[in-house]
Chains A and B, each alone.
Chain A
Amino acid sequence: AQSVTQPDIHITVSEGASLELRCNYSYGATPYLFWYVQSPGQGLQLLLKYFSGDTLVQGIKGFEAEFKRSQSSFNLRKPSVHWSDAAEYFCAVASSGGYNKLIFGAGTRLAVHP
């Protein structure tokens, strides 16, 4: 069965510091991978997605993620965090061969210190 693990429940970084959020997935075939962000009281917004091709994908708001098949990982990175990046981040996987069902991880809550 497909699953997504986000090992870090909470992460705190200082404004201007770099960020890496971890995501590991379990899926038998080539997955579609996504990162979403959820601000308080709001729905989920897509940051970036990986379907195929270049394993380093660029997203909105200065985020990027790298797909590593050998490690079953899809970690999210940002070189310099802004206070407005404080939110909850979800990694998700979808079947590349069937209906567009997303399996989400439990999320990582990011706090940013000024």
Chain B
Amino acid sequence: EAGVAQSPRYKIIEKRQSVAFWCNPISGHATLYWYQQILGQGPKLLIQFQNNGVVDDSQLPKDRFSAERLKGVDSTLKIQPAKLEDSAVYLCASSLDGVGGYEQYFGPGTRLTVT
């Protein structure tokens, strides 16, 4: 079974530029998550999709971050414009369902450096 795929693996941009990350979840997984992991901290949930719909985006900085999941499969996360404090690893995860208890499977992450 193929795991969660993410691209790119690394990205370096200057502040105020824009960037986009892509995630392909495990086939058949209805729920997709984007986490932000700042160096020295645990991952923090940015947004959770159940199929096409958003069920939790309470910690997404909506003035600069946006995410979409078209057709309930792939997802993209965009930052525009980027700030220095956005430097982090962005992890995508998926699970069969979004109700508590289902195992989340994580991709390798995208390491973003904003200079």
* A29 CB, min distance to chain B CBs, angstroms: 11
A46: Cβ under 8 A from any B Cβ: yes
Residues of A within 8 A of B42 (CB): 4, 90, 92, 104-107
* B38 CB, min distance to chain A CBs, angstroms: 10
How many chain A residues have a CB neighbour from B under 8 Å? 26
How many chain B residues have a CB neighbour from A under 8 Å? 28
* B102 CB, min distance to chain A CBs, angstroms: 6
B112: Cβ under 8 A from any A Cβ: no
Residues of B within 8 A of A32 (CB): 100-101
Q: Could you tell me if B100 and A46 are in contact, using CB atoms closer than 8 angstroms?
A: no
Our count of residue pairs bridging A and B at CB distance below 8 angstroms stands at 68
CA distance A49 to B50 in the complex (A): 22
Q: Could you tell me if B101 and A100 are in contact, using CB atoms closer than 8 angstroms?
A: yes
* Centre residue among B50, B99, B105 by max chain A CB count within 10 A: B99
The one of B31, B50, B95, B109 in contact with A43, judged by C-beta atoms closer than 8 angstroms, is B109
B72: Cβ under 8 A from any A Cβ: no
Minimum CB distance partner of A52 in chain B = B101
CA distance A102 to B106 in the complex (A): 12
CA distance A79 to B45 in the complex (A): 33
Q: Could you tell me if B100 and A95 are in contact, using CB atoms closer than 8 angstroms?
A: yes
Residues of A within 8 A of B48 (CB): 99-101
Interface, chain B (partner A; CB < 8 A): 4, 31, 40-45, 48, 50, 55-56, 91, 93, 95, 97-109
Q: 13 A-B contacts, Cβ less than 8 Å apart? A: A43-B106, A43-B109, A44-B43, A45-B106, A99-B50, A99-B56, A99-B98, A100-B99, A100-B102, A101-B45, A102-B45, A104-B43, A106-B42
Instruction: Give me 19 other A-B pairs in contact (C-beta within 8 A), A32-B100, A44-B43, A96-B100 excluded.
Output: A36-B106, A43-B107, A43-B109, A44-B106, A45-B106, A46-B105, A51-B101, A90-B42, A90-B43, A92-B42, A94-B100, A97-B100, A98-B100, A99-B55, A101-B56, A104-B42, A106-B40, A107-B40, A107-B41
